[in-house]
Amino acid sequence: MALKACLLASEADSMNFPVGSGDTFLGAAVFFSLSAAVSGWMFRYFLARYSQEVSSDRRSELRRQRIS
């Protein structure tokens, strides 16, 4: 999508296509929407993984304290 948007913008003069047309902005909007969704998913995934690691470290530390 981003490549299509760049190609449309670069070929604007040869196609008598106005720069900043709806297709260009639509392509950019789709690209940035998808990248925001993917980065949000990755943030939530790694945050959940980190919290699981922290909680497992806390559990093992509590076990060590109970044993000693």
* Rounded alpha-carbon distances, angstroms, from residue 58 to 4, 18, 51, 62: 49, 60, 10, 6
- Cα separation, 54 vs 49, in Å, equals 9
Q: Give the tens place of pLDDT for each residue, 2-16.
A: 566 656 666 555 555
Q: Which helix (H) or strand (E) holds 68?
A: none
Q: Please give the structure tokens belonging to residue 54.
A: 């922290």
Above pLDDT 70, what percent of the chain?
66
- Binned at pLDDT 50, 70 and 90, residue 19 comes out as low
Nearest to 22 by CA among 1, 8, 38: 8
Q: What is the mean pLDDT of residues 28-38?
A: 93
pLDDT value at position 15?
A: 55
**Do the Cβ atoms of 50 and 24 come closer than 8 Å?**
no
